[in-house]
Amino acid sequence: MKNILVICTGNSCRSQIAHGYLKYFAFKKANIYSAGIEKHGVNPRAIATMQEDGINIKEHTSNLIEEYKNVDFDFIISVCDHAKEHCPYFSTSKAVMIHQHFKDPAAVKGNNRQIHDAFENIRIEIKDFCRTFVKQYL
């Protein structure tokens, strides 16, 4: 069984969405973890947008990368540039490093519809990425 870590800055949106989709698409082929270089808590809008696609991440927790320092990862996926640049694992791990930057939907300002659309658009992008990753690597 492969071990996969998904990282972003605060482990609140993008990495949580990727965690949910990787777990869904990899079904019993991998252990999925997500973490941040900071811990911001799981964003309620990330939970809601995943629920709209039938994926439940309500029980996910926001974790720091250091919590998984003893896990031997096969893949580390960064989903934002900031995490890639500041993640200590990228220089020390023997894991395959994959980087795919996604815009932060939590940074979008506007009315509820605009914010919802931002989360939905990023969710779709991350879903496509995760589906492709699983097909290619698992």
- pTM value is 0.94
The CATH architecture to which 2-137 belongs is: 3-Layer(aba) Sandwich (3.40)
What pLDDT was estimated at residue 89?
60
Active site residue 130: no
pLDDT tens sequence across 14-67: 999 999 999 999 999 999 999 999 999 999 999 999 999 999 999 999 999 989
pLDDT recorded at residue 91: 55
Catalytic-residue membership of 13: no
pLDDT value at residue 88: 65
Of residues 4, 25, 32, the one with CA closest to residue 93: 4
Catalytic residue among 17, 26, 50, 80: 80
Cβ(2)–Cβ(31) under 8 Å?
yes
Q: What is the pLDDT of residues 77-118, one digit of tens each?
A: 999 988 878 776 655 568 999 999 999 999 999 999 999 999
- Reported in sequence order, the residue ranges of the chain that DSSP labels E, i.e. its strands, are 2-8, 30-36, 75-78, 96-99
| pLDDT for 9 | 92
132 vs 82, more confident? 132
Catalytic residue among 87, 106, 126, 134: 87
| 8, 13, 17, 35: the active-site residue | 8
What's the pLDDT at 86? 73
